[in-house]
Structure 1
Amino acid sequence: MAEARIIPIAPRAAGSGGWAPQLSASPPLALYVHFPWCVQKCPYCDFNSHAVRDDGIPEAAYRAALVADLESALPQIWGRRVHSIFIGGGTPSLISPDGLDELLTAIRMRVQLDPLAEITLEANPGTVDAGRFKAFRQAGVNRLSVGIQSFDERHLKALGRIHGRADAIAAAEAALTHFEAVNLDLMYALPGQTLAEADADLTTALALGPGHLSCYHLTLEPNTAFAANPPEVPDPDASADMQDRIEARLGDAGYRHYETSAFAKPGRECRHNLNYWAFGDYLGIGAGAHGKLSSHEGIVREARPKHPAAYLAAHHSGSFVAERRSLGAAELPFEFMMNALRLNQGFPRHLFTERTGLPFEAAEPGLLKARQQGLIETDGDTIRPTTRGRHFLNELLMLFLAE
């Protein structure tokens, strides 16, 4: 793929009050595949996931729908190389190894997949064993993300997880045996959690030695069981202490805090997620999957039917796109910053123009306000959030909303 070039921007569109986006080249492209089933729905989860029913998972029918979905989208990505695949959920590790092998083979036959593409599968302890991990590796997965959340039995029960401490450790050890690239998910500020308990979770994770750790603050999202019946969670000061301790300990252990919730040893950053944060393109297939695609006609966001039954029905109707929306010039500064300002090292000025097709001046009103409030800083041509900006990211992003 040709490198993006900065080219002159068209004059302000007549009557629009803003600039007309003009992209010089397509951004890097990734593929996201959503698997919507779980053994059971966790009370904090607001992702598109559904508990497996008594009649099981219609794996073959769903795989056929995914392939048909991909085929229907090929005209939008024709000639472009796919640099990463992320299979998320739900609990994708419920897929049979043979089924996953067939799916990845079908994808390779239809897209220009980079020979060194990062291919990530999300897995949950309690749904896998060492043999299953080995089979996933043989199918072509080269990065595993394991949803540990906690190693504490009491907290795992409060979170509604189906695994215990022993399962979590066994899953992590098996993952690290069969994969060089492994992420472990941890959560903190859990119901009734103390700083010492959050510290103990981190100690166990560090002893296992993964190359990547994702550490998330538990939030009580709308339309979840926790939102309906809120548990008692640590207050903001206690939560901030946990966050500070996690960041300090991981830094001392050689992990770079490269994104809001992500920490990696050198060279172990998640390339798929980095493409999101750099406002790259991604095609999303599967129930409820979202995508963002750029072309000479502009930038569009798409969504697939959310419920698995509706998605399977879309296979029969031949129309997988439930929503499609073009992003206007007034929206693009916020859309770009919503991603790029998650990167702790920030972004170069030219990336804004390359990925939005707008001149840098379109972002300057928001950047000026952010700088005045101490939320961003500049280093040459690089713009990055300050420590305060990272801790108050939502407030920072609000400065880029179109008035």
Structure 2
Amino acid sequence: MLAVQPLSLYIHIPWCVQKCPYCDFNSHALKQDIDEPAYVRALLKDLDDDIERFKLNRPLHSIFIGGGTPSLFSAKAIGDILEGVGKRLTISADTEITLEANPGTVEADKFKGFAAAGVNRLSIGVQSFASDKLIKLGRIHDTNQAIRAAELAHQAGIRSFNLDLMHGLEQQSVTAAMDDLRQAINLNPQHLSWYQLTIEPNTAFYSKPPTLPEDEILWDIQEAGFELLASAGYQQYEISAFSKGEAFQSRHNLNYWQNGDYLGIGCGAHGKITDINGQTIHRTVKIKHPKGYLEPGRSALDHWHQVAEAERPFEYMMNRLRLFKPFSLSDYQQATGLGADSIDDALQQACGKGLLEARNNHFQVTPQGHRYLNDLLSLFL
């Protein structure tokens, strides 16, 4: 049977200074001043509607303010959002509250203001420390601003911060990728998200693809990077996530990957809620464009549907198999409401192909399984 899941909250702020050519998120280039109070009101009305829709009174496990570029907002607006959330749902001292920041939109007082507003974790979108790569990625910051942002994060009085860093960039060599990664490590973040650039549909890069490294070089970059991160004390707990110990793992992302529940408010935000009374799983998507989202009297909900039982095994595995921690059949049953027999055949095939390893009713993705993750996931379709 479906069991109660931890509840997280995702808050989307869609505006950016400019749209990056690799970005397929719901983001909009800033063309005029943002009416922060109006958007705060819309977010809290959106939250009220979701709370009523799903009859929620659970405490919040985590909050993630993403975008777009949330650091474009003032510390006061972020504080108003969090204050409003706290009046509606319980935020404890243990609730992880992350805000995404762009190095080109921050200064010392702003980071400290976010911390005073209640933010206890920052995620800084560096992507690269190489000037030529930053230009090609369409980033608005330079190398010095990226380094300065990390230094300011250390001084801001928050619990921890993450640096986002890409590899496999246009014509990037193994040496250049490791130089980038060493620079990130030297800045001593408690968490690093280190992931390969992928070309997504509906992006500028998809229309005019950059020349990316050959597969052999990409594999060499990945192996060298994993070794470098491990030697620097970063533990890999997910395909692209590394932390200095379990205490600094991203609790919000872990809740996604472990198939927890989350409300999504803001333009284009997605949500997933488990109803244990009805034994159903619901997904919501909000209106994408700010103009429609901010329209007075209009519901923020774009669409809402129940997840069919036939879709649940793949959805569970698509998230859970990213992690390096084993999963149990009990975990699966509580997250999907399905019996173990719904995946028995797939598990046996995966183990037979060396993609999964069974240990005491737990299943661990093997190194081969992580390398051929799409092949592994296809078994659960």
The alignment partner of 2:83 has SS state of: helix
The one-letter amino acid of 2:15's match is W
Instruction: Give runs of aligned pairs for residues 128-277 of structure 1, distance below 5 A.
Output: 128-178=106-156, 179-266=158-245, 267-277=247-257
The one-letter amino acid of 1:135's match is G
Inter-partner Cα distance in structure 1 for 2:365 and 2:221: 21
Inter-partner Cα distance in structure 2 for 1:392 and 1:128: 39
Query: Contact 1:32–1:285 (CA<8 Å) still a contact in 2?
Result: yes
Inter-partner Cα distance in structure 2 for 1:33 and 1:258: 25
Match of 1:59 in 2: 36
Q: Between Structure 1 and Structure 2, how many residues are aligned?
A: 376
Inter-partner Cα distance in structure 2 for 1:106 and 1:79: 15
The alignment partner of 2:20 has SS state of: coil
Per-residue CA deviations over 1:193-234 (Å, capped at 9, x if unaligned) read: 111110001111111111100001000101100000011010
Per-residue CA deviations over 1:255-309 (Å, capped at 9, x if unaligned) read: 1110111000111000011111110000000000000000122001110011111
Match of 1:300 in 2: 282
The alignment partner of 2:233 has SS state of: coil
Inter-partner Cα distance in structure 2 for 1:77 and 1:42: 38
Inter-partner Cα distance in structure 2 for 1:363 and 1:90: 38
- CA positional deviation for 1:382: 2.0
Match of 1:27 in 2: 5
Q: In structure 1, list runs of 5 or more residues that go unmatched.
A: 1-21
- CA positional deviation for 1:180: 2.7
The alignment partner of 1:192 has SS state of: coil
- CA positional deviation for 1:115: 2.9
Query: Contact 1:29–1:80 (CA<8 Å) still a contact in 2?
Result: yes
| 2:331 maps to 1:351 | yes
Per-residue CA deviations over 1:345-402 (Å, capped at 9, x if unaligned) read: 231221001111111111222222222222111222221211111122222111111x
Query: Contact 1:376–1:384 (CA<8 Å) still a contact in 2?
Result: yes
| 2:291 maps to 1:309 | yes
The alignment partner of 1:173 has SS state of: helix
Inter-partner Cα distance in structure 2 for 1:61 and 1:32: 18
Residue among 275, 298, 305 paired with 1:325: 305
The one-letter amino acid of 1:59's match is E
Query: Contact 1:37–1:89 (CA<8 Å) still a contact in 2?
Result: yes
C-alpha change, 1:212 and 1:335, in structure 2 (3 Å) is same
Inter-partner Cα distance in structure 2 for 1:316 and 1:192: 50
Percent identical pairs in the alignment equals 48
| 2:110 maps to 1:110 | no
Match of 1:47 in 2: 25
The one-letter amino acid of 1:332's match is R
Per-residue CA deviations over 1:75-130 (Å, capped at 9, x if unaligned) read: 21522111110000000001111111111101101112233100000001010011
Query: Contact 1:343–1:384 (CA<8 Å) still a contact in 2?
Result: no
Inter-partner Cα distance in structure 2 for 1:37 and 1:370: 42
Inter-partner Cα distance in structure 2 for 1:324 and 1:394: 27
TM-score with structure 2 length normalisation? 0.97
The one-letter amino acid of 1:66's match is L
Q: In structure 2, list runs of 5 or more residues that go unmatched.
A: none
Inter-partner Cα distance in structure 1 for 2:148 and 2:326: 36
The alignment partner of 1:137 has SS state of: helix
Query: Which of structure 1's runs of 4+ aligned residues deviate more than 6 A?
Result: none
The one-letter amino acid of 1:316's match is G
Match of 2:362 in 1: 382
